[in-house]
Amino acid sequence: MRKIYLHVIMLFLGVLGAQGQIKLKPVPADSSNYQSRKLKIDEINLVSAYYNQSGNNSAVTGGIGTEKLSDFANTFDLQLSKFNRVGKKNTFLFELGIDHYTSASSDKIDPNSISSASRADTRIYPSLNWTHSNESTGNSFGFTGSYSGEFDYQSMGAGFNLTRLSANKNTQFDFKLQAFLDTWTVILPVELRTGDQGSGSRGDSRGNETSPRNSFSSSFSVSQVINDKLQAVILVEPSFQKGLLATKYQRDYFTDGSLQAETLPNKRYKLPIAARLNYFAADHILVRAFYRYYMDNWGIRAHTAELEIPIKLSSFISVSPFYRYNKQIGTRYFAEYGQHLPGITYFTSDFDLSTLNSDFYGAGIRLSPPKGVFGWQHLNMLELRYGHYTRSTGLASNIISLNLRVK
């Protein structure tokens, strides 16, 4: 139910964090210069985003009903660094995310209650990354730990990252491993509860079963500087999930009038393959082109293409219009309201897993005046972005975000 808007938010914040310029050939650090061993603040970033959506294909009520939802997300990250005795750099990145959402469709888990468990909730997700790097070679490695908590799940995460550069700095290899160990609270629609099964709400003393869901992902990318104007990146991100992958409070209706909770396989393999080109069309114009092909063992296939063109209007003002198109072939387990056949093993009416087309477009403006934003020297960047998302199922959403960076 929340998958679609979380995907759009993370996509939008990912675009927001991209740099307007790419340093094609990093300048090696002068090892003869003294490097301070004191822990210092490199930068602080604050991103706030507001998201809202509407639609009429709620999976909670079997693929029909309101999808109205709003989310206010905030992330704060603090980056610190320190050089050790042999001149290697240790970077520490602490990030804290807090978002609060309200969802009209979630209130239909138990229409007889005053409010269902997930009618409104707050999610908190801190993380900490440590990276050890050699500035003269550009090589680095690091580790990440993370946590995320919400009303019906808890998640613990761990990750490893590795970067290697060629001797001439024109080729870069990045490798990442991540694992997320989640625990779901199994909440059923009110019609399907038996015995003392609870609603999952904080005021309900009845217990609910919990079920694990573990996710493991990897990322392999190679970046190549082709010439002074063109850089290419190839990216492969295989992943595997095991455990409770269905959302059990989502209903599915059958042709005989019966009702069951969503049921999906307990294993899922995903394989996205992507390519990105960054082209400096002129001194003040950068063209970013992106394409991704996605496949998984549930039968979903998707093509995604994106174009973003940052344009530098002056030495400290730039605008970045962008457009992303996605075409998806849905899972074999999907059927609309009342169309599932009795006796099948797996079934869902979640339109996020259906065949669909979507468009996401918008623009941003970025300010980085030499004397600081609003005359404050340390506030060296402000970026405001807006995006509008529509898809062929009727869902529409808007997102606006503000990014402030202090150095």
* Integer Cα distance of 333 and 57 in angstroms: 16
Any domain includes 326: yes
Any domain includes 34: no
Between the CA of residue 31 and those of 28, 142, 254, 261, 286, what are the distances in Å? 9, 22, 70, 62, 33
pLDDT at 375: 83
Between the CA of residue 333 and those of 215, 225, 263, 297, 373, what are the distances in Å? 21, 43, 9, 11, 52
Q: Which residues pair with 285 in a beta bridge?
A: 282, 311
pTM for the model: 0.87
Q: CA 332, 338, 342: angle at the middle one, nearest 5?
A: 70
Any domain includes 40: no
Any domain includes 301: yes
**Taking a C-beta distance cutoff of 8 angstroms, is the pair 297, 332 a contact?**
no
pLDDT at 17: 44
* Integer Cα distance of 144 and 159 in angstroms: 5
- The CATH number given to whatever domain includes residue 307 is 2.40.160
**Which positions ≥6 away from 257 have C-beta within 8 Å?**
338
Output the CA torsion sign for 335, 239, 185, 4.
Answer: negative
* Integer Cα distance of 263 and 244 in angstroms: 9
**Taking a C-beta distance cutoff of 8 angstroms, is the pair 215, 238 a contact?**
no
Any domain includes 348: yes
**Taking a C-beta distance cutoff of 8 angstroms, is the pair 265, 292 a contact?**
no
pLDDT at 319: 98
- Nearest residue to 308 (alpha-carbon basis) of 286, 327, 325: 286
Provide the domain count of the chain. Answer: 1
Q: 329 lies in which domain range?
A: 3-21+51-406
pLDDT at 111: 65
Q: Tell me the one-letter amino acid at 51.
A: Y
pLDDT at 208: 67
The enclosing H or E element of 13 equals: helix 3-16
Any domain includes 26: no
Q: Which two tokens stand for residue 103?
A: 């969802």
* Integer Cα distance of 265 and 241 in angstroms: 10
Any domain includes 364: yes
- Nearest residue to 56 (alpha-carbon basis) of 108, 6, 10: 108
Coil vs helix vs strand at 328: strand
- pLDDT per residue rounded down to tens, the chain (407 residues): 445 444 555 455 554 444 333 333 333 444 445 566 788 999 999 999 999 999 999 999 999 999 999 999 999 999 999 999 998 999 999 999 999 988 876 667 766 554 444 467 889 999 999 999 999 999 999 999 999 998 788 999 999 999 999 999 999 999 999 999 999 888 888 888 887 665 555 555 455 678 899 999 999 999 999 999 999 999 999 999 999 999 999 999 999 999 999 999 999 999 999 999 999 999 899 999 999 999 999 999 999 999 999 999 998 999 999 999 999 999 999 999 999 999 999 999 999 999 999 999 999 999 999 888 988 888 999 999 999 999 999 999 999 999 999 98
**Taking a C-beta distance cutoff of 8 angstroms, is the pair 385, 360 a contact?**
no
Any domain includes 284: yes
pLDDT at 186: 87
